[in-house]
Structure 1
Amino acid sequence: MLIVPEREIADLMTRSAAFDAVEKVFAAMASGDAYNFPVIREAIGHADALYGFKGGFDRAGLTLGLKAGGYWPNNLDQHGIINHQSTVFLFDPDTGRVRAMVGGNLLTALRTAAASSVSIRHLARDDAKVIGMIGAGHQAKFQLRAALEQRDFEKVIGWNLHPEMLPNLEEVAAEAGLPFEAVELDGIREADVIISITSSFDAILMADQVSPGTHIACMGTDTKGKQEVDPALLARATVFTDEVAQSVSIGEAQHAVAAGLIAESDITQIGAVINGTHPGRASAEEITLFDGTGVGLQDLAVAAAVVDLAVQNGVAVEVDF
């Protein structure tokens, strides 16, 4: 068995490699060559933690495995480590033997950012100039760095429930040589692309706070009950997702479907746009929305890529197991 420790990931996996892996697996999902297993995600009744498993099998890439982990909200304050903790396990699909164990913390951040940037690449207007961020935590910096590579943005605007965290966004904007402006939620109307990345259980962004032609990537809702946007916004938009079953059960679409504002059949896999079987954006005035629920196959794709890189660079640890 190969082990790729968390400490090695930053020197191995790039944003570009994560983008390629996620784009490829989304395409495989839409063509029926890859599928995810049902998600298990539970409050464990200890340390206020949410813990679960995401897995799947990619026949095209012969990648089989799962990610185990979750969210420990007290980690940063009490233990000095990030709140999201995870590990990816890969198995040989021919024999079932374990192939690799890979640190999943940075990979999770990179694959989540890659998913929203894939949606921007394929759905945002080509002339998008202003990107708006809702949320300014740890993951928001990954999201913004990846997103800024997809269009020639000229300005970053942002809102966060706790404004003292907005310097996280300003830092990334400064790295890219772009101005940053803190705005109230009504000010998000200026954005051509919006990324929401929060842990909210109540709608933050309202339907009338989004301008025609905007692309929205909703990246924070991955559990039953979570919610970042007004369900009426999904009714205004053309809705895309990583996986439809997750979108309607644990994603942002769960609320719009429950309210009868949209149906499951109104949601399209982003992989269909990548494969060219769906046209994607139909006009400059259309609002497009990507419901990024986070699928196990994303984790497996980036983990498999990093294992190959670790072997090439001689940093994979081999153990007899």
Structure 2
Amino acid sequence: MWIVPEREIADLLTRDASFDAVEKVFAAMAAGDAYNFPVIREAIGHEDALYGFKGGFDGVGGTLGLKAGGYWPHNLEKRNLINHQSTVFLFDPDTGKVAAMVGGNYLTALRTAAASSVSIKHLARTDAKVMGMVGAGHQATFQLRAALEQREFEKVIGWNYHPEMLPNIEKVANEAGVPFEAVELEGLGEADVVISITSTFAPTIMADHISAGTHIACMGTDTKGKQEVEAALLARATVFTDEVAQSISIGEAQHAIEAGLIQEADVHQIGAVINATHKGRTSDDEITLFDGTGVGLQDLAVSAAIVRMAIEQGVAIEVDF
């Protein structure tokens, strides 16, 4: 069994490697060669924490396993630890024997950012110039760095519930040589691409905040009841997701489905666009929306890549288990 500690992940995993792993596994899912297991996610009644498991099997990549972890909202203020905590376990699909244990915190941040950037690559207008951010926490910085690599953005605009946190994403924009401007929510209409990465249970982005032709990636809704955007926005948009079953049950689509504004058939896999079995964006005026619920296969694909790199570089720890 190989162990790759959390401390090694940042030096091993690049955005390019994460993007490639996520894009390939989305394609495998849409082709029916990989599937996710049902998600378990529970409020444990301690520290206001959400804890659960995501897993799956990729027959093409040969990855089998699960990610265990969740969200401890008081970690940062109480312990100076990030609020998201997780570990990935990989198993040999031929024998069922445990193959690896991988630190999942930095990995989760990069794979989540990779998912939204995959959606930008395949769904945003090629002439997109203004990048919009809703959210300015730890994960938002990863999202913005990855997004800025997908188009020749000339400006970043941002909004956050706590405006004092906006310098987090302003710093990322400035490092990329792109000017930043704080805006009100109504100002999102200027954006050609919007990423929303918040943990809210009431919509922040209204349908009339988003202009025709915009691509929006909703990356914060992964639990029953969470909601980042008004349900009416999904009715205006062509909706894509990582996995349809999650989108309609714990993702943004849950609310539009419940309101009768869209049907399950209106939600499409991003992997189908990657595989060219779905046409994706069809016009410059079309609003496209990616509902990134986060699937276990993303974690497994990226973890498998990390283990390979860790073994090659001699930093993986081998134990007899």
| Alpha-carbon shift at residue 283 of structure 1 (Å) | 0.1
- Aligned partner of 2:11 in structure 1 is 11
- Aligned partner of 1:146 in structure 2 is 146
Instruction: Give 3-state SS (helix, strand or coil) of 1:132's partner.
Output: strand
**Cα separation, 2, equivalents of 1:214 and 1:168:** 24
In the alignment, structure 1 residue 264 sits paired with structure 2 residue 250: no
- Aligned partner of 1:196 in structure 2 is 196
- Aligned partner of 1:306 in structure 2 is 306
Matches within 5 A, 1:167-206: 167-206=167-206
**Cα separation, 2, equivalents of 1:289 and 1:73:** 27
**Cα separation, 1, equivalents of 2:128 and 2:63:** 35
**Cα separation, 2, equivalents of 1:170 and 1:196:** 16
In the alignment, structure 1 residue 161 sits paired with structure 2 residue 161: yes
- Aligned partner of 1:132 in structure 2 is 132
Instruction: Give 3-state SS (helix, strand or coil) of 1:290's partner.
Output: strand
- Aligned partner of 1:48 in structure 2 is 48
In the alignment, structure 1 residue 253 sits paired with structure 2 residue 259: no
- Aligned partner of 1:225 in structure 2 is 225
| Alpha-carbon shift at residue 75 of structure 1 (Å) | 0.4
**Cα separation, 2, equivalents of 1:220 and 1:47:** 20
Q: In the alignment, residue 59 of structure 1 is paired with which amino acid?
A: G
Instruction: Give 3-state SS (helix, strand or coil) of 2:12's partner.
Output: coil
**Cα separation, 2, equivalents of 1:296 and 1:160:** 28
Deviations 1:220-274 (A, max 9, x none): 0000000000000000000000000000000000000000000000010000000
Matches within 5 A, 1:31-46: 31-46=31-46
Q: In the alignment, residue 77 of structure 2 is paired with which amino acid?
A: D
RMSD of equivalent CA atoms:
0.3
**Cα separation, 1, equivalents of 2:169 and 2:320:** 44
Matches within 5 A, 1:81-100: 81-100=81-100
- Aligned partner of 2:65 in structure 1 is 65
- Aligned partner of 1:76 in structure 2 is 76
**Cα separation, 1, equivalents of 2:103 and 2:132:** 31
| Alpha-carbon shift at residue 109 of structure 1 (Å) | 0.2
Gap runs ≥5 in structure 2: none
- Aligned partner of 1:279 in structure 2 is 279
Q: In the alignment, residue 41 of structure 1 is paired with which amino acid?
A: R
Instruction: Give 3-state SS (helix, strand or coil) of 1:52's partner.
Output: strand
Residue-pair matches, total: 321
**Cα separation, 2, equivalents of 1:103 and 1:136:** 24
| Alpha-carbon shift at residue 70 of structure 1 (Å) | 0.1
**Cα separation, 2, equivalents of 1:185 and 1:70:** 29
| Alpha-carbon shift at residue 62 of structure 1 (Å) | 0.7
TM-score if structure 2 supplies the norm length?
1.00
Q: In the alignment, residue 257 of structure 2 is paired with which amino acid?
A: V
Deviations 1:146-173 (A, max 9, x none): 0000000000000000000000010000
Runs (4+) of structure 1 moved beyond 4 Å?
none
**Cα separation, 2, equivalents of 1:45 and 1:267:** 33
Q: In the alignment, residue 293 of structure 1 is paired with which amino acid?
A: T
Percent identical: 80
**Cα separation, 1, equivalents of 2:301 and 2:198:** 24
Q: In the alignment, residue 69 of structure 2 is paired with which amino acid?
A: G
**Cα separation, 1, equivalents of 2:258 and 2:8:** 43
- Aligned partner of 1:237 in structure 2 is 237
- Aligned partner of 1:316 in structure 2 is 316
TM-score if structure 1 supplies the norm length?
1.00
Q: In the alignment, residue 8 of structure 2 is paired with which amino acid?
A: E
Q: In the alignment, residue 40 of structure 1 is paired with which amino acid?
A: I
**Cα separation, 1, equivalents of 2:249 and 2:238:** 18
**Cα separation, 1, equivalents of 2:286 and 2:5:** 44
Gap runs ≥5 in structure 1: none
| Alpha-carbon shift at residue 106 of structure 1 (Å) | 0.2
**Cα separation, 2, equivalents of 1:153 and 1:316:** 38
| Alpha-carbon shift at residue 22 of structure 1 (Å) | 0.0
**Cα separation, 2, equivalents of 1:164 and 1:172:** 15
Deviations 1:177-202 (A, max 9, x none): 11000000000000000000000110
**Cα separation, 2, equivalents of 1:58 and 1:24:** 10
